[in-house]
Amino acid sequence: MIGGILCGLSSAFSQSFSYLFTRHFVHTRGPGASRDLFILGHLWMGLFGGIGLLFLWPAHAHLLLDWPVLWPLLGTSLFYLSGQAGLTYALRYAEASRVTPLLGLKVMLQTLVILAFGMPSGAVGDRFLTAFQWLAVALCCVGAISLNYSGGRMHPRALAGTTWALFNFVLSDYHIALLVAALIKHGGLPIGHAAPLGACLQYATSGLIALPLLALVHDRSARTFRAAAPFAITWFGAMLFLFATIGMVGVILGTILQSTRGVMTILIASAAARLGQVHIEPLHGRGVVLRRIAAGSLMFAAVTLYVIKDPRSIKLSDGAGEGLRGVPWSHRITICCSPADSCAKTA
């Protein structure tokens, strides 16, 4: 659980930088910059994925062509590319600190997808949510909406691009869970091998899809290729962590953890604005900052509630009354993730 949470936070942190690099690229290039970054960035990531496959390619590689692995791979690749196109478009018309928090609404849509289609067979995660977990989903959505508020209306094109990205990323994440579960179940791979292999497979596939589109790039100079690299590096790194997160803690908690990128993006973008990078993020007043800190606290509470699941799972581990005298509080609390799980004492 701890490893999955750390991977989720690392994914959010890396993604926050990728949004800012996207915003920088589209505002320092000419017409067609969004399209150029979309194509060139995925050529870079296709290269990274191909290099990764050289080291991660399994001995029984023929299983990768089996339908249980192939169809979620194609699904996550196509939904991802469609969503990324919408996100890149949105970041041309709005700051990253306004677009990114709205992606936190993924958790509500992801929950509906799980309820409609069920948890992917073999995937990690909760098939039924407790009252605490539903509250966590609600808090995450409230936090996402609150983080977006900054006293002005979002450009309609930015809102349309973000909405398109939101729905496609939800379906892409669902297929990530299917893909990782298939690699574990049908490929017989451990999660530490299946997660990075799945990410490299997806982005190598995305790179192949982007290759024929190179002719549409307005500026194919080496300088433009280099300028697209920071986005590609940070996004690809985030996806390696995301695949591991979904494989270890499930789709819904993974999505909640990703929602913390809203707070991270705001903090990083504010720092960039104070350094004079106002084309990335304008300066905001104290009131906006305080509202966003409060919204970030809601998201932290959402992660905590989702992990706890049920207040009855918090127990005094060493008994009660006299038996606890002299025992530090840090050694008394035990959290059981579910009635069927073994309990793990917190240190």
Segment 44-95, tens digit of pLDDT: 999 999 999 999 988 877 777 788 889 999 999 999 999 999 988 888 888 7
| Tokens read off for 73 | 């791979």
d(CA 339, CA 47): 45
- In this predicted structure, which of 25-39, 286-300, 328-342 has the lowest mean pLDDT? 328-342
Residues 153, 213 within the same domain: yes
Residues 228, 340 within the same domain: no
Give the pLDDT band (50/70/90) at residue 226. very high
Q: Which domain holds residue 25?
A: 2-309
What is the pLDDT, as a whole number, of residue 53? 94
Residues 219, 329 within the same domain: no
Residues 49, 126 within the same domain: yes
Exposure of 204 by Cβ count < 10 A (0-12 exposed, 13-18 middle, 19+ buried)? buried
Radius of gyration of the chain (CA): 21
Global pTM reads 0.74
Mean residue pLDDT across the chain:
78
What is the pLDDT, as a whole number, of residue 259? 76
Q: How far is CA 145 from CA 70, 257, 268, 331, 332, in A?
A: 36, 16, 19, 37, 37
Question: Stretch 304-323: mean pLDDT, rounded?
Answer: 56
Give the pLDDT band (50/70/90) at residue 346. very low
What is the pLDDT, as a whole number, of residue 234? 96
Residues 190, 324 within the same domain: no
d(CA 283, CA 272): 9
What is the pLDDT, as a whole number, of residue 338? 41
Q: Is the pLDDT of residue 339 over 80?
A: no
More confidently predicted of 91 and 278: 91
Residues 186, 64 within the same domain: yes
Give the pLDDT band (50/70/90) at residue 24. confident
Residues 336, 288 within the same domain: no
Q: Is the pLDDT of residue 313 over 70?
A: no
Residues 189, 324 within the same domain: no
Main-chain phi, psi angles of 14, to 5 degrees:
-65, -40
Q: Is the pLDDT of residue 194 over 60?
A: yes
What residues contact residue 36 under an 8 Å CB cut-off, 6+ apart? 29, 217, 218, 219, 224, 228
Give the pLDDT band (50/70/90) at residue 40. very high
What is the pLDDT, as a whole number, of residue 152? 60
Q: Within 29-121, where are the H helices?
A: 33-56, 67-93, 96-102, 106-117
Q: How far is CA 187 from the centre of its chain?
A: 25
Give the pLDDT band (50/70/90) at residue 42. very high
Q: Is the pLDDT of residue 255 over 60?
A: yes
- In this predicted structure, which of 166-170, 227-231, 284-288, 324-328 has the lowest mean pLDDT? 324-328
Residues 283, 317 within the same domain: no
The DSSP secondary-structure symbol of 326 reads T
Residues 272, 326 within the same domain: no
Q: How many domains does the chain have?
A: 2
What is the pLDDT, as a whole number, of residue 88? 87
- In this predicted structure, which of 8-22, 217-231, 304-318 has the lowest mean pLDDT? 304-318
Residues 263, 244 within the same domain: yes
Task: Please state, for a pLDDT cut of 90, what percent of the chain lies above it.
Answer: 26
Residues 47, 107 within the same domain: yes
More confidently predicted of 200 and 97: 200
Please, are residues 265 and 11 in contact by the beta-carbon 8 Å criterion? no
